[in-house]
Amino acid sequence: MAGRNDPNGRNRDIRDDFRTEIREFLGTRRARVTPEQAGLPLYGGERRRVTGLRREEVALLAGISSEYYTRLERGNATGVSESVIDGIAQALQLDEAERIHLLDLLRGAGTTRPPRRRPAQQRVRPAVQRVLDSMRGTPAFILSGRGDILAANHLGRALFAPVYADPVRPPNNARFVFLSPHAIEFFRHWDEVANDTVAMLRAEAGRDLYDRRLTDLIGELSTRSEAFRHRWAAHNVRMHTTGVKLLHHPVVGDLDLPFETFPLPDGPSQFLLTYTAEPHSPSQDALNLLASWAATNDDIERSAPADDSQPADSGETPD
């Protein structure tokens, strides 16, 4: 995504960025599917230069010509039909998140309109904040697609106190995961959280490659975190709407918290995130204790671990 905000590039074709993303995304998807996995005979033996599928093999599986698939992988997305996309998705064994991401990229590559800038800062409607505040026993947040915490209730701020310790506002989950020395302790399965975080940023970038805040965030993480760069290059995308987050809170210890996310009508890049605990579980006891602690701590950020270290460089980022 480098160079998209370069003022000297105003006159270049805005579709070039999408074409590059299509080429890299489809290339990484081809590389992970072997002929055996696709049900094809293996020709070439040791002379085969790629472990994954060749372009002509994807075309065969998708029921299109090799020339057409090659043009498509190079970003020529004009007039691509739904049946062709379905054939390619099946050939490359794309899941639903990957298929949606490919559609987003193809849509972007086919447009000739100037990129639309999003508002400088997303806002949370007062009614939505009141909904958050009414959920007294449930940590709840409003997140943007790039991981900004746009709003939270009091218990949510208490749960994510280490994230709020970063003075940058709004607090950002991706920045915390890859740049804070406390992240690897807070997230007990840090690798899984890191993979999911990058996959969600990839999906968001496919929806809008020209979101200045998103490109700035990706540029910062790419510069400062080798762990992020490695994952970003994989071009993985994912829909992560439900699951269990394993946390270690500095005040109440370990919590195993199922989470759910719900898109808000304000747009596809703003959603409600809630955490709950199994009734009568140790995590519920810890969450109750956290609620009591939060009730007596008005300044939750100051109660979080102090992050007085210098910004982590690539050698200090957990990997």
What is the per-residue pLDDT across 168-221, written as a single tens digit (0 to 9) for each?
899 999 999 999 999 999 999 999 999 999 999 999 988 877 788 898 999 999
Q: Domains in the chain, please, with CATH?
A: 13-40+50-109 (1.10.260), 126-302 (3.30.450.180)
The pLDDT value recorded for residue 301 is 55
pLDDT tens digits for range 253-272: 999 999 999 998 865 578 99
What dihedral angle (degrees, nearest 10) is formed by the CA atoms of 115, 18, 79, 203? -90
Span 67-72, average pLDDT:
92
pLDDT digits (tens, 9 = 90+) for 275-296: 999 999 999 999 999 999 988 8
DSSP tag of 114: P
Q: Return the percentage of the chain with pLDDT > 70, whole number.
A: 82
pLDDT at 11: 47
Does residue 4 surpass a pLDDT of 50?
no
Strand positions, DSSP E, 168-252? 242-249
Indicate the helix (H) or strand (E) that contains 216.
helix 212-224
| Identity of the residue numbered 191 | D
Angle, CA 159 vertex, CA 292 and CA 120 arms, to 5°:
130
Least confident range from 28-42, 43-57, 69-83, 238-252: namely 43-57
Using 50, 70 and 90 to split pLDDT, how confident is the model at 310? very low
**Sign of the torsion formed by the C-alpha atoms of 243, 136, 144 and 178:** negative
Q: In the prediction, which pLDDT does 8 show?
A: 45
Mean pLDDT over residues 157-165, rounded? 95
**Per mean pLDDT, which range of 26-30, 74-78, 164-168, 308-312 is the poorest?**
308-312
Tens digits of residue pLDDT in 97-130: 999 999 988 887 776 555 555 545 678 889 999 9
pLDDT of residue 295: 85
The two beta strands, 140-144 and 149-152, are: antiparallel
Q: Say what the pLDDT of residue 122 is.
A: 74
Task: Collect all residues with Cβ–Cβ distance below 8 Å to 109 and sequence separation of at least 6.
Answer: 15, 18, 19, 22, 75, 76, 77
Q: Rounded distance, CA 178 to CA 184, Å?
A: 9
Residue 69's closest CA among 81, 82, 58? 58
What distance in Å separates the CA atoms of residue 153 and residue 86, rounded to the nearest whole number?
Answer: 42
Separation in Å, CA 140 to CA 84, 136, 204, 245: 41, 9, 21, 14
190-207 vs 212-224: helix crossing angle, rounded to 10: 140
pLDDT confidence tier of residue 312, bands split at 50, 70 and 90: very low
What is the reported pLDDT for 9?
43
Burial class (CB in 10 A: 0-12, 13-18, 19+), 296: exposed
User: pLDDT value at position 172?
Assistant: 97
Q: Is the pLDDT of residue 314 over 90?
A: no
The average confidence (pLDDT) of the chain is 85
pTM passes above 0.85: no
Please give the pLDDT value at position 16.
75
